[in-house]
Amino acid sequence: MDRLSVMWERFSLSDAEGSSFVVQDSMEEGEFFVATRFYTRRVLNMEAIARTFKMLWRTRKGFEVRDMGNHRVLFVFLDRADVDHVILGEPWAFDKHLVALKEVEKHADIRNLVFDHTNMWIQIHDVPFGLSWKAAKDIISVAGKVDESIQEEEKFEGSNFLRFRVAVDVSKPLCRGRKIVLGNGKESWVSFKYERLPNLCYWCGKLTHMDRECSIWTKRKGPLLETEQQFGSWLRATTPNLARKTVVRVASFEKEGNGVGDQSTVKTPGG
């Protein structure tokens, strides 16, 4: 059934109904809005949501939670820095289910917003030795749009993986990896792993529902076996410790004016 807010276009309006009122109220100073879509079928409890994200976000000036219906929730912040912190911290989850975010202006029609993307850190594993960042970025591009603004210090070069910030389309299955062809013509496979990955469907690979809600499950007449699942917990990645160096680059050694005959002494245990 169409909502009245849409049906009015078909109505024959009276003079009173058709007299437009111009809304002129201004945004309160320091109010910022983030609309969210909770990808769970459970009834949402605003107090539980407030408690959960209070602990997760630890905002400087707090926020307000408003139930907008249809599993959409509006968060009202009082500090621009808090909004930036929340947006940059994606992905977020509630009860292990994805919460998609979108910053909006005041009076936005939240009921009709499309929440089809979330930002995630994706690790590329089993990469060929010496793979460049540019080549790795081109490989990971099949998983979504790569964030080009990530600073060098936020990247992490592990012993066998690279990581990128990617805007993932949640209406599509997660990308599990990509086939590549090496310079010698040999085919290989690189695997994608996702940091802080919420619940996902192991049948179709989407973040928007669980296994028992998947059309593959509901339309199948016979039993489904776990061995038939195309996705699994192996897509989850451990978030790396960015402070721990796993690759160290050493500059060239140059003697500094102590004479040709001067030699450095290296002490060894017991020496």
Report the pLDDT value the prediction gives residue 198, as an integer from 0 to 100: 96
pLDDT above 90 coverage of the chain, percent: 55
pLDDT digits (tens, 9 = 90+) for 194-233: 999 999 999 999 999 998 888 887 777 667 788 889 999 9
Report the pLDDT value the prediction gives residue 71, as an integer from 0 to 100: 96
* Residue 61 pLDDT greater than 60, yes or no: yes
* Residue 264 pLDDT greater than 80, yes or no: no
Report the pLDDT value the prediction gives residue 255, as an integer from 0 to 100: 55
* Residue 113 pLDDT greater than 50, yes or no: yes
Please enumerate in sequence order all residues whose Cβ is within 8 A of that of 168, keeping only pairs 6 or more positions apart, or say none: 117, 118, 119, 120, 122, 143, 144, 174, 207
pLDDT digits (tens, 9 = 90+) for 119-135: 999 999 998 887 888 88
Residue 68 CA to residue 181 CA, distance in Å, equals: 49
* Residue 246 pLDDT greater than 70, yes or no: no
Report the pLDDT value the prediction gives residue 154, as an integer from 0 to 100: 58
Q: What value does the mean pLDDT take over residues 170-199?
A: 94
Report the pLDDT value the prediction gives residue 160, as an integer from 0 to 100: 73
H/E run at residue 120: strand 117-125
Report the pLDDT value the prediction gives residue 106, as an integer from 0 to 100: 87
* Residue 157 pLDDT greater than 80, yes or no: no
Residue 267 CA to residue 161 CA, distance in Å, equals: 36
Q: What's the CATH number for 27-112?
A: 3.30.70.330
Q: 180 is written with which tokens? A: 């590549």
H/E run at residue 104: strand 97-104
* Predicted confidence band of residue 266 (pLDDT cuts 50, 70, 90): very low
Report the pLDDT value the prediction gives residue 25, as an integer from 0 to 100: 58
Q: Is-above-0.85 flag for pTM?
A: no
Report the pLDDT value the prediction gives residue 267, as an integer from 0 to 100: 45
Contact predicate 173/204, CB 8 Å = yes
* Residue 39 pLDDT greater than 60, yes or no: yes
Exposure string of 47-73, with b = 16+ CB inside 10 Å and e = fewer, is eebbebbeeebebeeebebeeeeebbb
* Predicted confidence band of residue 265 (pLDDT cuts 50, 70, 90): very low
Report the pLDDT value the prediction gives residue 124, as an integer from 0 to 100: 93
Report the pLDDT value the prediction gives residue 269, as an integer from 0 to 100: 44
Mean pLDDT of the chain: 84
* AA identity, residue 166: V
Of 12-21, 45-54, 57-66, 206-215, the least confident:
12-21
Contact predicate 110/72, CB 8 Å = yes
Domain boundaries, the chain: 27-112, 118-237
* Residue 24 pLDDT greater than 60, yes or no: no
More confident residue, 111 or 58: 58
